[in-house]
């Protein structure tokens, strides 16, 4: 799998509707689901959580949990769906997640993490990977992190997505934990230096993709989250920058048409979610504000679709 460009897992954002939109904007980007707890997969109807139909980009299922048995069961279920990889979340700092003993807090317990991953690897039809932070609280980001990575690599984990900052579990909320601990890209370069045989994908604060391709060329890929959700049309450039695609893909009109074809098949709850994910698609165009009002309105879909197309065409005409 060529992980040159990955779209980060984001709760309430990278659901299948947003992933569908991303797939229209970039055919090659690797997509991630939101984190889905193993219990949700095991207890409820899995189709509800794991449906990835209509998406042809390679997609990584991210799971959360800390029970080896539950994670094994969820992995077996996930084998039946069209995911390219299964990823264990070891980086989420939310207090809810901490109290459930999963996410970033697990980085403090390498043996439990190894037990979880061993069970997943035993049964998974796909590669099992992890998403980590550089450290958690007082875990030493040098020897402590090296030891953690070394131990996971011994049981067969070969791919590490690294959010290039530590998480502070007490005192900072998840949002603060994505901004206050400083980014430390050098430490990620060092991981690759020390573990050349592992795939290391860097994440955190990456917004200028052209620059990133060069800056992080020693690594195995980059992962961007907020930059994509806030400005999804940036994905138009990704296939060209990272995958040498010569196909020019920048046609917002066809994206609008395909999104509304997709929306027409959804129930009303999913329709609202999908339109919400489109709110940032027109940022930067003249009349972008009107596009947001249209997407939030109760107008008929045909009217919204045509209104959006008019905004795009007017903006293109003005630029010409």
Q: Which residues bind ligand FMN (CB under 6 A)?
A: 8-11, 13, 34-35, 62, 89, 91-92, 131, 163, 178, 203-206, 224-227
Pick between residue 149 and residue 227 the one whose CB is nearest to ligand FMN. 227
Q: How far is the CB of 77 from ligand FMN (least distance, A)?
A: 19
Phi-psi category of residue 2: left, alpha or beta, with phi > 0 → left and psi -120 to 50 → alpha: beta
Nearer to ligand FMN, 13 or 17 (CB): 13
Pick between residue 13 and residue 72 the one whose CB is nearest to ligand FMN: 13
6 is catalytic: no
Query: Other CB atoms closer than 10 Å to residue 170's CB: what's the count?
Result: 8
DSSP the chain: ---SEEEPP-TTTSSHHHHHHHHHH-SSPBEEEEEEEHHHHHHS-HHHHH--TT--S-EEEEEE---HHHHHHHHHHHTTS--SEEEEEE----HHHHHTT-GGGGGG-HHHHHHHHHHHHHH-SSEEEEEEES-BTTS-TTHHHHHHHHHHHHTT--EEEEESS-B-TTT--TTGGGTSSPP-HHHHHHHHHH-TTSEEEEESS---HHHHHHHTTTSSEEEESHHHHH-GGGGGGHHHHHH--------HHHHHHHHHHHHTTS-HHHHHHHHHHTTTTTTTSTTHHHHHHHHHS-S-HHHHHHHHHHHHHHHHHHH-
Smallest gap from Cβ 216 to ligand FMN, in A, equals: 13
At closest approach, how far in Å is the CB of 79 from ligand FMN? 21
- Give the residue with the Cβ less far from ligand FMN, 166 or 294: 166
Position closest to ligand FMN via CB: 225
Q: Between residues 180 and 253, which has the closer beta carbon with respect to ligand FMN?
A: 180
Rounded to a whole number of angstroms, the minimum distance from the CB of residue 282 to ligand FMN is 21
Q: How far is the CB of 104 from ligand FMN (least distance, A)?
A: 9
Minimum CB distance to ligand FMN, residue 223 (Å): 7
- Our CB check for ligand FMN shows the closer of 67 and 129 to be 129
Residue positions annotated with a catalytic role = 92
């Amino acid at each position: 799998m060529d992980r040159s460009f990955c779209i980060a897992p984001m709760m309430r954002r990278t659901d299948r509707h947003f992933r569908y939109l991303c797939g229209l904007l970039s055919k090659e980007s690797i997509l991630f689901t939101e984190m889905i707890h193993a219990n949700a997969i095991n207890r409820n109807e899995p189709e509800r959580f794991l449906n990835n139909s209509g998406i042809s980009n390679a997609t990584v299922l991210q799971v959360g949990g800390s029970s080896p048995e539950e994670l094994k069961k969820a992995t077996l279920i996930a084998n039946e769906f069209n995911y390219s990889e299964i990823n264990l979340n070891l980086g989420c700092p939310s207090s809810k997640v901490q109290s459930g003993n999963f996410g970033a807090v697990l980085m403090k317990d390498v043996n439990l993490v190894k037990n979880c991953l061993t069970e997943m690897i035993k049964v998974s039809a796909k590669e099992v990977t992890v998403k980590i932070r550089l450290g958690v609280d007082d875990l030493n980001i040098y020897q402590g992190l090296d030891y953690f990575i070394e131990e996971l690599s011994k049981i067969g984990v070969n791919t590490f997505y690294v959010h290039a900052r530590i998480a502070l579990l007490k005192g900072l909320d998840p949002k603060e934990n994505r901004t206050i601990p400083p980014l430390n890209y050098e430490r990620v370069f060092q991981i690759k230096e020390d573990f050349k045989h592992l795939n290391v994908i860097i994440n955190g604060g990456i917004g200028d993709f052209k620059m990133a391709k060069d800056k992080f060329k020693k690594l195995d890929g980059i992962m961007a989250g907020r930059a994509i959700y806030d400005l999804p049309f940036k994905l138009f450039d990704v296939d060209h920058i990272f995958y040498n695609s010569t196909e020019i893909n920048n046609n917002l009109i066809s994206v609008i048409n395909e999104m509304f074809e997709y929306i027409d098949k959804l129930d009303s709850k999913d329709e609202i979610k999908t339109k919400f994910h489109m709110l940032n698609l027109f940022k930067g165009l003249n009349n972008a504000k009107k596009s947001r009002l249209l997407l939030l309105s109760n107008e008929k879909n045909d009217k919204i679709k045509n209104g959006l197309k008019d905004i795009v065409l007017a903006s293109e005409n003005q630029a010409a």
